Structure 1
Amino acid sequence: MVADASATPLPAERLRAMAAEQGIALDGPVAAYCGGAVASTLLIAALDEIGVEAAL
């Protein structure tokens, strides 16, 4: 989840901590995938907010 219950994006520190907890390196490009590109689009938007290049 990259947003709270009101659809407000989580703070950058929390997004970075969540990535670290999952072992996702943010020092290079990140690829996001889901079946219909809806959920991954939200992830890409959140990563963009913290300055991480991401693509579908």
Structure 2
Amino acid sequence: MHPHLEATIPAGRPVNPVSGTNWEGTGVQPDIPCPTADAPERAHAPAVARLAG
């Protein structure tokens, strides 16, 4: 390898402090359940409302 090139391999993994598991292969449950196709529209209004204060 070149003297100014370094390769690293991460050795950590995220762990949920409540369940002791991670979300690999299961995903994260949405705050607003809806069909995938509707998600951008359903998420936009609450995001704008929160930003508006």
Shared fold, TM over 0.5: no
RCO comparison, higher one (Cα < 8 Å, 6+): 1
**More helix, by proportion:** 1
**More strand, by proportion:** 1
Larger Rg: 2
